[in-house]
Amino acid sequence: MTTTTLTGIEDVDWASMNHAYGDASDVPDLLRGLASPDPAERDEALDGMYGAVHHQGDVYDSTLACVPFLFGLVADASVRDRGAIVGLLRSIAGEEVPDPEEVGGLFEDEEEDAAWVANFVDAAALIRGRADVFLGHLTDPDPELRAAAPGALAHLHADPARVFAALRARLPVERDGEAVRSLARAVGVLGVRHVELRPDAGRLLAEILASGGGDPELRLTVLAQLARCALDLLPEETVDIAVEVMRVAHEDESAAEEDGAGAQEAPAERPRTDTMVSYLRDLEAAHRAGIDAHLADDLLRDLHIALDDRTEERFDLLHAQLRAPDWGQRMAAVQESGLLLTGWRAPNDLAVVLLARQLIEHDERLSRAALNELACVHPIAHVVADVLEVCLTEWEDDWDPSDWEDSLFGRALKALALQGDARAVPYLAAVLGSGGGVPEYLDHWVEAMGPAAGARLAPVLHGRLAGPGQIANGYHRSRLISALGTCAPAASLPLLTAALYGDHCGPACTAVGRYGSAAAEAAPRLREVASDASQGDLLRLDAADALWSVTGASDDVLPVLRDILGSDRWFTRSRAVRIAGRLGPESAPLVPRLRELMTDGANRTAETAIALWHIRADVSEVLPVLIDQWTAAPDSRPETAACLLEMGPAAAPALPLLHRELASPRRHNNSGAQGNMRYDVASDEALLRDCRRLVAALEP
């Protein structure tokens, strides 16, 4: 470290400043630690910067004061790990210019809050204002710094055209593999963020890909960036390229396991020319044509995200991943299959079949992951029901009552039961009869398997609920009540009625309501709960809903609904709206309030319109609202489609929406959120069925 790198650090009153853990008097030591020749000390200092000075992305007065010194460290060629310091500066500046409205509001005191916001704004302005220095780092002798500079430039520099020109000029001469990949990623970022640069960025990325470079990680990186900013330039062989990268990753990993090296023979010498092709050949010679398997998985995930609604390529890629010889690649593909199959509509059953194929590997981790995803996609997984039954037979003796749900047997049983397959019944009866845990949503399993399954399971459920020893787990008791109510055996009605007086009154109300008029003796208790404001809105609604089922009289139900429809809690109000719709014309006194809810722009507008349809059957009143909400509130589409089906020919104005829905590759409730998301396949499949029925009925 030069003597001038941290000049003036002692002149700053660090003790008067703060970071996440108090005063900032320790910050000078952290800054000195970043310049230490000892790599362990540098790591500790960087950890301290992120852990305290820039804790969870926050910017303190001490963070702002560090910025000039961090730039000084980056400029000092004697400092190691300068690329990491650039990453820190980039994080402090933020990927976007800070929005005071989003940053503020943490403190009640206005002056304190304004000072807090100023730290973010001033630090971002200071770093972005000095972003020119990162241009010089593109040619620095330190490859890690060269790899850090492109991303910082793409996100922070005020002149994207100048940055693009610099990146394009650097690409033909850069020799470090990670720096080249960073340049490619930055080109993609510029193409995504700046429309005017998108054509040039796409062409540059396509040129890199077409030039035939041997670095598989670079090729996959470029594919993902092309998919993000220039889909039309993606090559037809995109999936083939990705498959080749997977093959290389697998071979590299296998070679490394065999000899600890995995090195490959260098390519033969070639005359060098001033072309991208020659440049990439040189790069291939300098950078081993290999790729870490875990990194390949991450890049494939990036490619999937970038391809978005290009489902033909995505499913072809997924099929290849699920067939990969490498265990790790298939494990990553199993999770990807759940993300893709729940968020997008598969063109055929192949992905589900290949998902079930993982079960024959006799690998517990792989089987466990595959079964989890098969449960998530159960509405479209009937094609593999036979496989699940074979698994149950094979694993029948390999479970324990205390944790059967977590076993492979339990997971296979869940996947088969959710499909409504009656072959799951004897196995489910066995685990419940053993005293094993009661699964969540058992009532859904039982309902899916139908009345015959319910008749067989009812004695077991009744026995567990009425047994001599009380069930210690309250959740289990609640689940048993709900499942027994789904079966609704006559012999169990007294038991469920008695539960109306206990801690599980809510599920007992729903269970008793399933008996209809046969449960007339429970009406007084239901009436008592529904009218008692101290019981809470949800429990009162449970009781009111059951009371309507049992008595068919609205006199005791309407006051409860009217009361809760006036609530400002959307969740309970939504439940009241649905019950009002179930009462049909009997809910006529509630129509004025429902009209208010439908037109005030609040949540659940479509749901309220559907309730009004069931009450008044006035197409002119609700159809325009439903058509508007189809786009405004996609989650409401399944219920809306069912309502349109009831309207018959009057629903014809909705035909364009139905055709668009049937043509969409994306499931209706796919919000585009990234992460470990799983969407509701059952409701989407119901939506598709109703849309097809509507189109068939409305078109000659």
Convert the pLDDT of each residue in 545-554 to its tens digit.
999 999 999 9
Percent residues over pLDDT 90 in the chain: 70
Burial class (CB in 10 A: 0-12, 13-18, 19+), 675: exposed
H or E element that contains 19: strand 18-19
pLDDT, residue 242, reads 83
Please, what sign has the CA dihedral across residues 522, 525, 528, 531? negative
pLDDT, residue 19, reads 92
pLDDT, residue 471, reads 56
**pLDDT-derived band at 183, boundaries 50, 70, 90:** very high
CA distance 523 to 525: 5
* Own/partner pairs, 480-484, CB within 8 angstroms, 24+ separation: 480/438, 480/442, 481/507, 481/508, 481/511, 482/442, 482/443, 482/507, 482/510, 482/511, 483/438, 483/442, 483/443, 483/445, 483/446, 483/457, 484/458, 484/511
CA distance 568 to 573: 7
Ranges 26-35, 619-628, 670-679: which has the least confidence: 670-679
Mean pLDDT of 169-191: 92
pLDDT, residue 475, reads 82
DSSP secondary structure letter of residue 8: T
Contact 151, 193 (CB under 8 A): no
SS3 state at 479:
helix
pLDDT, residue 362, reads 82
Q: Is residue 323 part of a domain?
A: no
**pLDDT-derived band at 109, boundaries 50, 70, 90:** confident
Q: Is residue 101 part of a domain?
A: yes
Q: What is the DSSP string of 58-89?
A: ---HHHHHHHHHHHHHHH-TT-S-HHHHHHHH
**pLDDT-derived band at 268, boundaries 50, 70, 90:** very low
Q: Is residue 655 part of a domain?
A: yes
pLDDT, residue 257, reads 58
CA distance 352 to 342: 11
* Own/partner pairs, 253-260, CB within 8 angstroms, 24+ separation: 253/292, 253/293, 253/326, 253/328
Number of CB atoms found within 10 A of residue 392's CB: 20
Candidates 329, 239, 335; CA nearest to 293 is 329
**pLDDT-derived band at 5, boundaries 50, 70, 90:** confident
Mean pLDDT of 444-461: 94
pLDDT, residue 292, reads 57
Decide which of 461 and 254 is more confident.
461
Q: Give the dihedral of Cα atoms 390, 396, 397, 402; nearest 10 deg.
A: 140
pLDDT, residue 602, reads 63
Residue pointed to by tokens 């509405």: 379
Among 130, 150, 181, residue at a domain's last position: 130
Contact 409, 446 (CB under 8 A): no
Alpha carbon of residue 615 to chain centroid: 37
Candidates 289, 164, 276, 284; CA nearest to 229 is 164
Convert the pLDDT of each residue in 562-614 to its tens digit.
999 998 888 899 999 999 999 999 999 999 999 999 988 666 799 999 999 99
SS3 state at 23:
strand
SS3 state at 22:
strand
Convert the pLDDT of each residue in 458-482 to its tens digit.
999 999 999 865 555 678 899 999 9
pLDDT, residue 284, reads 42
Convert the pLDDT of each residue in 114-161 to its tens digit.
999 999 999 999 999 999 999 999 999 999 999 999 999 999 999 999
Residue pointed to by tokens 């993606």: 234
Q: Is residue 675 part of a domain?
A: yes
Average predicted confidence (pLDDT) for the chain = 89
Q: Is residue 693 part of a domain?
A: yes
Candidates 295, 291, 339; CA nearest to 318 is 339
Among 79, 101, 130, residue at a domain's last position: 130
Task: From residue 246, give the alpha-carbon distance in Å to each of 181, 211, 294, 432.
Answer: 18, 20, 10, 44
Q: Is residue 70 part of a domain?
A: yes
CA distance 121 to 579: 50
Strand spans (E) along 328-399 = none
**pLDDT-derived band at 294, boundaries 50, 70, 90:** low
Ranges 55-64, 247-256, 355-364: which has the least confidence: 247-256
Please state at what angle helix 143-156 crosses helix 177-193, rounded to 10 degrees: 0
Residue pointed to by tokens 């990162």: 134
**pLDDT-derived band at 53, boundaries 50, 70, 90:** very high
Among 90, 108, 130, residue at a domain's last position: 130
pLDDT, residue 40, reads 87
Contact 114, 103 (CB under 8 A): no
Angle, alpha carbons 345-349-355 (nearest 5°)? 100
How many alpha carbons fall within 13 Å on the CB side of residue 526?
A: 31
Convert the pLDDT of each residue in 338-383 to its tens digit.
999 999 999 999 999 999 999 988 899 999 999 999 999 999 999 9
CA distance 167 to 174: 10
Candidates 550, 544, 503, 505; CA nearest to 527 is 544
Mean pLDDT highest for which of 187-196, 205-214, 271-280? 187-196
**pLDDT-derived band at 29, boundaries 50, 70, 90:** very high
pTM over 0.85: no
Q: Is residue 676 part of a domain?
A: yes
Q: Is residue 481 part of a domain?
A: no
Identify the domain containing residue 58 by its residue range: 1-130
pLDDT, residue 2, reads 46
pLDDT, residue 254, reads 63
Task: From residue 293, give the alpha-carbon distance in Å to each of 142, 217, 328.
Answer: 26, 10, 8
How many alpha carbons fall within 13 Å on the CB side of residue 255?
A: 16
pLDDT, residue 304, reads 87
**pLDDT-derived band at 264, boundaries 50, 70, 90:** very low
Number of CB atoms found within 10 A of residue 15's CB: 12
Contact 477, 465 (CB under 8 A): yes
Q: Give the dihedral of Cα atoms 373, 375, 379, 382; nearest 10 deg.
A: 90
Candidates 683, 528, 509, 490; CA nearest to 579 is 509
Number of CB atoms found within 10 A of residue 174's CB: 22
Decide which of 437 and 370 is more confident.
370
Q: What is the DSSP string of 379-426?
A: GG-GGGHHHHHHHHHHTTTS--TTTGGGSHHHHHHHHHHHTT-GGGHH
pLDDT, residue 212, reads 60
pLDDT, residue 599, reads 87
Percent residues over pLDDT 70 in the chain: 91
Q: Look at residue 270 and tell me whether its pLDDT is greater than 50.
A: no
DSSP secondary structure letter of residue 53: I
pLDDT, residue 215, reads 76
pLDDT, residue 121, reads 93
pLDDT, residue 218, reads 85
The residues, ordered by sequence, that sit 6+ positions from 680 with a Cβ below 8 Å of its Cβ are: 342, 669
pLDDT, residue 269, reads 44
Structurally, how many domains does the chain consist of? 2
